[in-house]
Amino acid sequence: MTASLANHHCPHNNAVSCGDCRLSSICLPISVKIDDIDRIDGIIKRGRPLQKGEYLFRAGEEFSSVYAVRSGSLKTLTITDNGDEQITGFFLPGEVMGLDGIGHSKHTNSAIALETCAVCEIPFTQMTELSLQLPSLQQHFFQLMSKEITYEQQLVTLLSKNTAEERVASLLLSISSRNQRRHLSGTRFRLSMSRADIGNFLGLTVETVSRVFSRLQKLSIIEVDKKEIEIADLDALKSAASAQ
Amino acid sequence: MTASLANHHCPHNNAVSCGDCRLSSICLPISVKIDDIDRIDGIIKRGRPLQKGEYLFRAGEEFSSVYAVRSGSLKTLTITDNGDEQITGFFLPGEVMGLDGIGHSKHTNSAIALETCAVCEIPFTQMTELSLQLPSLQQHFFQLMSKEITYEQQLVTLLSKNTAEERVASLLLSISSRNQRRHLSGTRFRLSMSRADIGNFLGLTVETVSRVFSRLQKLSIIEVDKKEIEIADLDALKSAASAQ
DNA sequence: CGGAAACTTGAGCAGAGTCAATAATTGTGG
DNA sequence: CCACAATTATTGACTCTGCTCAAGTTTCCG
């Protein structure tokens, strides 16, 4: 087996360029031309893989880059005035994190690996300079950030209007569809985060999350085996996610 | 009195250019040079004032512009799957709205005037074209959007972790500091939105908002007279806003 | 001035939190 | 590779914050 082939088979391999990356359709604009991709590729840094629990960046640190997840998953969190943590997002392969740091030139979140993972570092100053020459790259980042705003607004709505069951169901559906976008199973996957993380993210206690999982399982809507989730009845899960 | 002077005195006057606008330090980057401001000014459209209840844009409409509030205030809202509305923000003079529409080339929110107000329309395509030549303009919009993301994340945290009293207190403090930024009183102001709007925004019922107002008044932390609010004890309000 | 909308206050209820005990799982060192 | 400690998850009993329903009051606006 050649080194090249070996590279392609290792999920945390960091030698693959954007042009070869299966995730580029998610994290890079489709409109960017082949030779432009090489220019983008030129500014991207690929570091060693992160182990579970390692920080990618910390709140308060100088902001210099945004990051695209290549493999594995991470959570972002802030510390509230009262000192407890608030998880602000879970990030799966192809997704871009750290956009919130741009506005204050410091990271407002910390990012922690939920499992072994690899990320692409995109130095922001170089990206903005390059995007003055590649309008579609500029456009892409405007869109990324705008979508992030919309996503946060939907999260606000979820927390503001929905019950515990609806929130948990919505999160499962969100992970499901994000998996499907990567051509993975939308009905069978492993949760890389703990019940506590889920509760923290959704504004619920661990106990409530656990109870909802049990209830959804009893209703044969999902099948739970530790962190493995199977969505047994997708339609039922969708109804569970939104009142009526 | 000259026309020019009259213009400067009317709060909804739409003839003032960015260079003369007292709000430009808020809605435009400080780093933009004087003659660059004229170029920005050249793409901005100023329409007739909106009356209370009028829509500036509607969810689902084609996205073409973002808007800076010149005078008055507006709310943005989306309609949930269940058909009820979720208010996603209140916008005061100098603040930019509509950034969420960029990612989907459609507005995801509707914007409604809470009182008579004037807005500056910033056609987005022209803005992005201009920002290829004015890096600081590009930078400014990246920052605006990033700050919006951070703001939404703080709102998520508020809804996820804080009690009714803390949420209401936080909103009052937010309005207070946004007023101060415009060199208005941070301790005495008029709420342009209804109690129902506040509750909707904060994930509370009208009754709860009303009760919190009464309680804060009984504690001599605020003085409520219909929509007029006076913050009588700013420190106490700050403690009320965050648990311990 | 009158009707509609907005606001306030009270009483009772329920969904999710807290506290607590137990069970299952993971990680670690011998 | 197993045993034990530490972490994570589940389940139950009880409590409490904020919701619902209801009635009354005030404010707004034509």
Interchain contact, A99 vs B152, CB within 8 Å: no
**A150–B108 C-beta distance less than 8 A:** yes
Structure tokens, B130: 């201009």
**Structure token pair of residue B103:** 């990612």
Q: Is residue B79 part of a domain?
A: yes
Q: What is the mean pLDDT of each run of 10 residues along chain B (244 residues)?
A: 45 73 79 80 90 96 96 96 93 95 95 96 95 92 96 97 97 97 94 97 98 96 95 96 79
Same domain flag for A35 and A54: no
Regarding whether B220 and B189 lie in a shared domain, the answer is yes
Domain harbouring B169, CATH code: 1.10.10.10
Does residue A14 lie within any of the structural domains? yes
Q: For position A240, what pLDDT does the model report?
A: 96
pLDDT at B35 (0 to 100): 80
Residue A123 has pLDDT above 90, yes or no: yes
In the predicted model, is pLDDT for residue A1 greater than 80? no
The reported pLDDT for the residue numbered B10 is 56
Residue A17, in any domain of the structure: yes
Report d(CA A151, CA A156) in Å as an integer: 9
Residues A63 and A124 in one domain: yes
Same domain, yes or no: A96 and A78: yes
Q: Which residues pair with B113 in a beta bridge?
A: B74
| pLDDT above 50: residue A3 | no
Domain membership of residue A62 as a residue range: 48-132+139-148
Instruction: Kindly list the distances between the CA atom of residue B52 and the CA atoms of A140, A203, B49, B193, in Å, as whole numbers in the listed order.
Output: 36, 35, 10, 11
Number of domains in chain B: 3
| Position A10 in a domain | yes
The C-alpha atoms of residue B108 and residue A17 are separated, in whole angstroms, by 35
A23: confidence class by pLDDT, cuts 50, 70, 90: confident
State the Cα–Cα distance between residues A165 and B238, nearest whole angstrom. Answer: 33
Q: What is the pLDDT of residues A71-89, one digit of tens each?
A: 999 999 999 988 889 999 9
A139 contacts B128? CB cut-off 8 A? yes
Cα–Cα dist B51/B114, whole Å: 8
Mean pLDDT value across residues A112-120 = 95
Query: Which of A148, A183, A214 is the endpoint of a domain?
Result: A148
A15 pLDDT above the threshold of 70 = no
User: Would you say residue A153 lies in a domain?
Assistant: no
Residue A53: Cβ-neighbour burial (10 angstroms; 0-12, 13-18, 19+): exposed
Q: Is residue A222 part of a domain?
A: yes
Would you tell me the crossing angle of helices A124-133 and A135-161 to the nearest 10 degrees?
Answer: 120
What pTM, to 2 d.p., does this model score?
0.92
pLDDT tens digits for range A185-215: 999 999 999 999 999 999 999 999 999 999 9
Shared-domain flag, residues B89 and B114: yes
In the sheet that holds B45-46, the strands lie side by side as B45-46, B118-123, B65-71, B96-97
Determine which of B96, B153, B174 to mutate to test the interface with A (most A C-beta atoms within 10 Å): B153
Q: What does the alpha-carbon distance between residue A188 and residue A231 come to, in Å, rounded to a whole number?
A: 6
B20 and B55 housed in the same domain: no
Last residue of a domain, one of B148, B173, B208: B148
Bases on strand C under 7 Å from any protein CB: 6-11, 15-20, 24-27
- Chain A residues 34-73 with a CB less than 8 Å from chain B: none
- HEC string of chain A equals CCHHHHHHHCCCCCCCCHHHCCCHHHHCCCCCCHHHHHHHHHHCEECCCECCCCEEECCCCECCEEEEEEECCEEEEEECCCCCEEEEEEECCCCEECHHHHHHCECCCEEEECCCEEEEEEEHHHHHHHHHHCHHHHHHHHHHHHHHHHHHHHHHHHHHHCCHHHHHHHHHHHHHHHHHHCCCCCCEEECCCCHHHHHHHHCCCHHHHHHHHHHHHHCCCEEEECCEEEECCHHHHHHHHCCC
B62/chain A closest Cα distance in angstroms: 15
pLDDT at B31: 65
DSSP B51: P
